[in-house]
Amino acid sequence: MSEPDNVPLIDLLALLAYGQLEAFDRMSADARLAPDLRRRAALSEMAAAEIGTYRRLIRRLAQLGGDPYHAMAPFVAAIEAYHAETQPKDWLEALVKAYVGDGISDDFYGEVAAQLSGDDRDLIMDVLHEGRYAAFAAGEIKAAIADDSRIASPLSMWARRLVGEGMSQALRVSSERPALVALIAARQDEDGVAAMLKRITAAHTARMSAVGLNN
């Protein structure tokens, strides 16, 4: 495969890889917000899973040629800006960020991976977040809301802020990396892209409802 053909795939894998690296850093810090050792350990395990995923993606980027760190560099500013604007102030905000943010990103990467073929599709699908972590976060959020229903409204607002900031940075990336956008839309017409966004939105709404949050 020629270098021009590789560029969109490298962009996609580099974006995912840097996202995993940054998530590791953030989750490791957020684990300190946990109210007890059991919960701290659970979030620390989530962070460890992120760094394991990062290493697999880095290996694949190296196989495609070039410097993986150079490939990730264009996405540093947008991802760091997202995290800078969405720093959780307590344990529940950290959990909602992991639950909502990881859920949407997994839906997105899953949709894009479905358009690929062979080993790269399998790699992306395989490294998406494990369901047990989402289940842990969901259980914690649901239990907290059951204990005090008043927190549902501020946590719902926090989730909407996460989505809004994520969309803002996604638009930034799309304007800077047109080849990546072309890969996402390559096998879909306008209706297909709209349908993909509708599926992602529906999945997000279902996740919010499942834990007692308002979309």
Residues 160-169 pLDDT 10s: 999 989 888 8
The mean pLDDT value for 112-129 works out to 84
The mean pLDDT value for 97-123 works out to 86
Residue 133: C-alpha distances to residues 1, 52, 114, 186 (Å): 37, 15, 23, 32
- In terms of pLDDT, which residue wins out, 191 or 18? 18
Helices 102-113 + 3-30 axis angle, to 10: 160
Query: What pLDDT score was predicted for residue 105?
Result: 86
- In terms of pLDDT, which residue wins out, 106 or 93? 93
- In terms of pLDDT, which residue wins out, 47 or 188? 47
- Report helix, strand or coil for 201: helix
Domains and CATH numbers, the chain: 3-210 (1.20.1260.10)
- Centre a 10 Å sphere on the Cβ of residue 54 and count the other Cβ atoms it contains: 22
* H-state helical runs in 35-151: 37-63, 68-72, 76-85, 91-96, 102-113, 118-127, 131-147
The mean pLDDT value for 10-32 works out to 91
> In terms of C-beta density within 10 A (0-12 exposed, 13-18 middle, 19 or more buried), how is residue 149 classed?
exposed
Least confident of 5-9, 60-64, 76-80, 124-128: 5-9
Query: What pLDDT score was predicted for residue 160?
Result: 93
- Whether the per-residue pLDDT at 143 is higher than 70: the answer is yes
Q: How many residues does the chain have?
A: 215
Six-digit token string for 76: 């540093």
Query: What pLDDT score was predicted for residue 56?
Result: 93
Structural contact between residues 124 and 113, judged by C-beta atoms closer than 8 angstroms: yes
Mean pLDDT score of the chain? 87
- In terms of pLDDT, which residue wins out, 69 or 115? 69
Query: What pLDDT score was predicted for residue 171?
Result: 84
Confidence of residue 149 (pLDDT cuts 50, 70, 90): very high
Confidence of residue 189 (pLDDT cuts 50, 70, 90): low
Query: What pLDDT score was predicted for residue 3?
Result: 44
Torsion from C-alpha of 169, 171, 174, 180, nearest 10 degrees: 70
For the chain, the C-alpha Rg in angstroms (whole number) is 17
- Whether the per-residue pLDDT at 1 is higher than 80: the answer is no
Six-digit token string for 45: 């395990």
Cα–chain-centroid distance for residue 144? 23
Residue 120: C-alpha distances to residues 20, 117, 124, 126, 131 (Å): 17, 7, 6, 10, 21
Query: What pLDDT score was predicted for residue 191?
Result: 62
- Whether the per-residue pLDDT at 2 is higher than 70: the answer is no
What is the model's pTM? Answer: 0.87
Confidence of residue 17 (pLDDT cuts 50, 70, 90): very high
DSSP category for residue 116: S
